[in-house]
Amino acid sequence: MLAVAVIAGILFVWSLLAHRLSRWSITAPIAMIGAGVALTAGSDPPLRFDFDTKAFEHAVEVVLALLLFVDAVEVPLSVIRREKGLFVRLLGIALPLTLGAAFAVGYLFFPGRPLWLLAVLATVVVPLDLAPAASVVRDRRIPGRLRETLNVEGGLNDGILSPVFLLCVTLGVESHGAQSDYVDALLTAVVASAWAVATGIAVGWTSGWLLGTSWVHGWTRGTAVRLGVFAVPVAAYTLSGALGGNGFVASFVAGVCFAPAMRHLPETAVEMTDDLVTLLTLALWFIFGQIINDVFGNDVPLSVVLYALIAVVLVRMIPVLLSLMGTQIRPADRLFLGWMGPRGVTSIVFGALAVTELPEQQADFIAQPMVMTVLASIVLHGLSAEPIARLYARLDRTGAR
């Protein structure tokens, strides 16, 4: 309970000074990381979290399920329809190439590691999270089309990567069995995904239709609708798990199927779930402070640092530039979309789940690159946000193309 009180107190203090702190690019995640590092450091720290418990694993899973649902619900369908070709390139071409690039760089920097482990690492360091550079998507100096594109891509990116990550982890766990059967593990993962999709469609569409109908006919009120929306990802996640499905995929699919119903519901319908997700992810940023201490308590090889830098700087940049070749998008905008791929909560959650599922040696290997990648992203993407906005303001004034 002390940890909850401390996290709440830090969050409250930050809320009092949020505007002033933003001048120095000190966002809520950065404040929570700093507090987490300070309060979990040393041999006898004031706070300490145990990552090896089922309770922690389930808590992290619930956070990710809620996050995936909110991301899917808040994706503006009008933007997807308007920019369909762009998203096909970013998610259908650039994203697989980015995964392949992360895997290839890992193969070069970490020779001798199992291929499945390098695949897990690739899925951990690739997902987008706009929190480390949140000011970018709110800065009106940057063209609205680019900000909308990042919002939509960020909302869909982690939902697409979740089943890939879980498949890689499943294969990794299977590889340590007495009699490894990868075909059986693959079939199990496919069946779990099928159950998840079916559950997500059923829960998302049905709940959306029922809530929309109830609101239109005046049978309910705003507070009840917000509670109902919160119940949707919880139901999809737990029901899918009970049926042997993938809860993450079910939550994301439920959000996709629920999203059309939002036009019949009040604008505040998803606010409670969104606020809860924000609060839970901030708690994860605090816990990330302890993970940083744990990682830096051991020697961090140069290969890990170089891998993280390449993962942040080039692994996304080059695939995005390749996928946008032949389009009418101006060079500056292509560079912006390639560069602005911050890593954050999804990488932390994937990394934490991998650490809890994999044997200790492999878990340590995943933790170090994950921490270095997220830290590098916070620094590089956070510091570059303001200069990029100023550059776009200058381009806008001069009419540059």
> Residues 374-383: what's their mean pLDDT?
88
How much of the chain exceeds pLDDT 90, in percent?
A: 36
What are the Cα distances from residue 200, in Å, to 4, 69, 235, 248, 291?
32, 10, 9, 10, 32
Q: What is the pLDDT of residue 382?
A: 80
Q: What is the pLDDT of residue 56?
A: 79
Residue 387 vs residue 90, higher pLDDT: 90
Type of residue found at 313: V
Helix (H, G, I), strand (E, B) or coil at 299: coil
Kindly tell me the burial class for residue 85, based on how many C-beta atoms sit within 10 Å of its own C-beta (0-12, 13-18, 19 or more): exposed
Give the start-end residues of each E strand in 29-171.
Answer: none
What are the Cα distances from residue 92, in Å, to 49, 86, 99, 161?
38, 10, 12, 12
Q: Which residue, 244, 72, 231, 60, is CA-closest to 158?
A: 72
Q: What is the pLDDT of residue 381?
A: 86
pLDDT, tens digit, 9 for 90 and up, residues 76-87: 778 888 888 899
State pTM to two decimals.
0.88
Q: Of 56-65, 259-268, 298-307, give the lowest mean pLDDT range.
A: 56-65
pLDDT, tens digit, 9 for 90 and up, residues 98-137: 999 999 999 999 998 888 899 999 999 999 988 767 777 7
Q: Please tell me the distance from the alpha carbon of residue 7 to that of residue 205, in angstroms, as a whole number.
A: 36
pLDDT of 140 above 90: no
